[in-house]
Amino acid sequence: MTLQEYDYARESPSKLAASCLLLALTMKNLGGWTPTLEYYSGYRSQDLHPLVKKLNFLLTYQPHDKLKAVRTKYSHRVFFEVAKVTPMDMLKLEEILKSC
């Protein structure tokens, strides 16, 4: 989804990928940012928090008239229906990020 948004063009691809991973781990309640992830990504959890919040905002307030084909594709069970995953509540996300 970020490929279609100009605001994300200035972010480094590695930071964007790391932030997406942290958001996915948080959304699926699979744990937080581990020392191993920090070592191999080169990013501390705190470095990713602003971008994680921005990504969650994008998921929460996505325009429904854009990217219908992408949303339809990733709503299929072959792709584990990831397009149907409910975004996190912003306050809950903030609370979880403060703890990691």
Residue ranges per structural domain of the chain: 2-99
Give the pLDDT confidence of 48-82 residue by residue, as tens digits: 999 999 999 988 887 666 668 877 888 899 988 88
The alpha carbon dihedral of 35, 37, 41, 46 has a sign of: negative
Instruction: Check: CB of residue 56 under 8 Å from CB of residue 16.
Output: no
Q: What is the structure's pLDDT at 64?
A: 63
Whether the CB-CB separation of 28 and 61 falls below 8 Å is answered with: no
pLDDT score recorded for residue 74: 86
The confidence score (pLDDT) of residue 66 equals: 67
The answer regarding whether domain 2-99 maps to CATH 1.10.472.10 reads yes
**Tens digit of pLDDT for each residue in 7-49?**
899 999 999 999 999 999 999 899 889 999 999 999 999 999 9
Closest by CA to 96, choosing from 40, 31, 35, 39, is 31
The predicted pLDDT at position 63 comes to: 64
